[in-house]
Structure 1
Amino acid sequence: MEYLKLVSIVIPCYNDKDYIEESVNSALSQTYQNTEIIIVDDGSNEATKKILSSFNHKKVKIITQENKGLSAARNVGIINSNGDYIVTLDADDIFENSFLEKAVPILNLKPDIGVVGCFSNYFIKRDKIIGKNCPTGGNIDSFLFRNNTMASSLFRKKCWYDAGGFDEKMKKGYEDWEFWISVTKQNWEVFVIEEFLFNYRKKENSMLQITNLLYEEENYYYVLNKHKELYTRDFDKTIDFLQRRTLRYKSNELKRLSSVDYRLGNMVLRPLRFFKKCISSLFAN
């Protein structure tokens, strides 16, 4: 029956022993009940495997593999899924109970829409919300220069096939954004429910924070080159985007150089630099 289509909830898990139970429970607690839950153990440690072995529910299936990264784990889960609709859930994030109940009918009734997201809360603990994200969805033009829906959006399995799956070469973040670009360039639309139905956990030293610090430029370079036909088509917008990023970096660098911490650090290190210079000159002679 159209309105009872199976939804496959794919949960990649890598060393998430402290959070995986809460995430799985949020999947099991969905008011839309025609679901299956596929946990992909992506080479987790023994402590996490012990938690996973405790799950005993007819809806839950666990697949174990060596560590291959988030994109590969998602793809394996989807390959082994039975649902027409898919949603990926990171093992430390949480759905509100009514997300699928509100998202599934949109895909049922609107054949041009391939993806349904919602607004998200950023949290540390469930009772401590530290931020909000209100994306707008849209078509390919809405995704060229930013990720415009949440990672755990509901999508048709056909979208995954059309996009060629999650890019397994991307192991340093931004795989969600690239996937939505690949989906929307196939003329699928993304709809966003304007309700806070998803909770994204912000952790110290999280993947997103590390990505932003270390691999942001590398990821942008990869995405822009992979989809270069899109960015050359809108060349003026691409130049404007890159220019704004350059100006932002310059502004941040000026703030850093003028900060009290930077100046104080220079004062502390100045004698050490002088000493190092003297030692180098002594040995040079």
Structure 2
Amino acid sequence: MALKENRKMENSKLVSIVIPCYNDKAYIEESVNSALNQSYENTEIIIVDDGSDEATKKILSGFNHVKIKLITQENKGLSAARNAGIANAQGEYILTLDADDFFENSFLEKAVPVLESDRSVGVVGCFTQCFVDKNRIIFKYRPKGGSIGDFLYGNSAVGNSLFRKQCWLDAGGYDEKMRKGYEDWEFWISVTKRNWKIYIIEEFLFNYRKKENSMLQITNLLHEEENYQYVLNKHKELYIEDFDQTIAFLQKRTLKYKTNEIKRLTSIDYKLGNSILKPFRFLKKIFKSKK
């Protein structure tokens, strides 16, 4: 039986599972265990410590498994950490996994055959469950995947997916200038514009942890317009080619922004905050006039 398993390993492609980690001491063990417990066995696990605190470093140094390799660097952001891990990967296939999320054990067993059977597919993702804790799923996400036209105006895949290392090489890696979110979306545009397709397994095999008051989510919201502008400028030839759709997209975003701004300005919290600050603004004017 052992001989049979060894032959199976020899005939299967190596998958490098890259896990960037920044101060994720509370969740990293669950993430690493989901990588170790994949039913597809021919894997290596590369953890990239992206300048974590001492408590996280202590946990990372405690991982003692033949499959695990630890890379340490100063804090450079998610894109740089992923690039460092992939650059050191031996596998032909790459699976990215954030340190606070986890895959179901069967993901690779179901995803690898898709890449093996269709050379036009560069990326394999799946449906996603978003949870706060294991007993509280707050929503389910069903991305559609596809080709470049499916990614120009929004992300149609999850960031943690299986892809050919060649896709990463073709795209020039993750854009390390994007440290304020949306790096996954930009990466998929860079991949699909080179004619790779993204396939989605219609099963909930990935679990995304939504942290309350997550700094990443707050950063993404604060820099949303800046990120959109960066992506549109970087791939402007695609948006110019699809001019009519681009104009419709920008008009829709402008309307959304105006609607959100009206809601903010008419909210009770805003009005209350304004009424509290009003006397202080009056005092400020008095002091200014006396100078």
CA RMSD of aligned residues (A): 1.5
Deviation, structure 1 residue 3 = 5.9
Q: Kindly indicate whether residue 266 of structure 2 is the aligned counterpart of residue 258 of structure 1.
A: yes
Out of 183, 200, 209, which is 2:208 matched to? 200
Out of 200, 207, 213, which is 2:221 matched to? 213
Deviation, structure 1 residue 205 = 3.5
Q: Summarize deviations over 1:223-270 as a string: whole Å, max 9, x none.
A: 111111101000111111111111001111111122222222223223
In structure 2, what is the equivalent of residue 45 of structure 1? 53
In structure 2, what is the equivalent of residue 171 of structure 1? 179
In structure 2, what is the equivalent of residue 67 of structure 1? 75
Distance 1:66 1:208, change over 3 A: closer
Q: How does 1:127-146 map to 2 (within 5 A)?
A: 127-146=135-154
Specify the code of the residue in structure 2 equivalent to 1:238.
T
In structure 1, what is the equivalent of residue 5 of structure 2? none
Deviation, structure 1 residue 207 = 4.5
Q: Would the aligned equivalents of 2:83 and 2:173 in 1 still touch at CA under 8 Å?
A: yes
Deviation, structure 1 residue 222 = 1.2
In structure 2, what is the equivalent of residue 58 of structure 1? 66
Q: Would the aligned equivalents of 1:123 and 1:200 in 2 still touch at CA under 8 Å?
A: yes
Specify the code of the residue in structure 2 equivalent to 1:264.
L
Q: Would the aligned equivalents of 1:39 and 1:60 in 2 still touch at CA under 8 Å?
A: yes
Q: Kindly indicate whether residue 176 of structure 2 is the aligned counterpart of residue 159 of structure 1.
A: no
Distance 1:182 1:268 in 2: 48
Q: Kindly indicate whether residue 32 of structure 2 is the aligned counterpart of residue 35 of structure 1.
A: no
Specify the code of the residue in structure 1 equivalent to 2:150.
S
In structure 1, what is the equivalent of residue 97 of structure 2? 89
Q: Would the aligned equivalents of 1:173 and 1:207 in 2 still touch at CA under 8 Å?
A: no
Q: Summarize deviations over 1:86-120 as a string: whole Å, max 9, x none.
A: 01111111111111111111111111111000111
Q: TM-score, normalised by structure 1?
A: 0.95
Distance 1:27 1:261 in 2: 44
Please give the secondary structure, in 1, of the residue aligned with 2:178.
coil
Distance 1:197 1:124 in 2: 16
Aligned residues with identical type, % of pairs: 72
Distance 2:166 2:286 in 1: 67
Q: TM-score, normalised by structure 2?
A: 0.93
The alignment of Structure 1 onto Structure 2 pairs a total of residues equal to 283
Deviation, structure 1 residue 168 = 1.4
Q: How does 1:105-116 map to 2 (within 5 A)?
A: 105-116=113-124
Task: Specify every segment of 5 or more residues in structure 1 that has no aligned partner in the other structure, as ranges.
Answer: none
Q: Would the aligned equivalents of 2:121 and 2:199 in 1 still touch at CA under 8 Å?
A: yes
